[in-house]
Amino acid sequence: MKKNAIIITLIFAIPLFAYMLLTTANKSTAQVAQSGKPQVIKFTSSMCLDCQTMNKVFKEIFPKYEGQIVLTEIQVQDKNSFNDEQIKKYNITLVPTVILLNSKGQQVKRIEGAVSEEEMDECLKGLE
């Protein structure tokens, strides 16, 4: 009888233990870089026309801010725990969305939709 109880316990315990190991191993510990520099988090999608427009805007103006501002691009269609965590954290319901964070990591501006190069440049100039 004791042998049967041990076998039944192992039948339930081993899969439960394996499940716990696998789920804790898959949790993402990645975070948006905390570098002490201002940050831009760009939520985008490859299937979005406004996102493609914003990609061109960033390609034109961001090189002059290289090294001064950290740029993080998050593809919303790529489902992983880090992306899902950031989407929830910043309450992203529309792409493109650009979140501007100051050097302390506080959100100072949120831009939803496509904007002109001039407008984005002004936002980046004011970012400290």
Residue 27 placed within a domain: no
Cis bond before residue 96 (omega within 30° of 0): yes
What is the model's pTM? 0.71
Residue 6 placed within a domain: no
Strand order in the sheet with 70-75: 70-75, 39-44, 97-101, 107-112
pLDDT of residue 79: 84
Please tell me the total count of domains within the chain: 1
Mean pLDDT by 10 residues, the chain (128 residues): 72 67 42 73 93 94 91 90 91 94 92 94 88
Picking from 56, 57, 46, the residue whose alpha carbon sits closest to that of residue 95 is 46
Residue 116 placed within a domain: yes
List the CATH number of the domain containing 48.
3.40.30.10
pLDDT of residue 11: 78
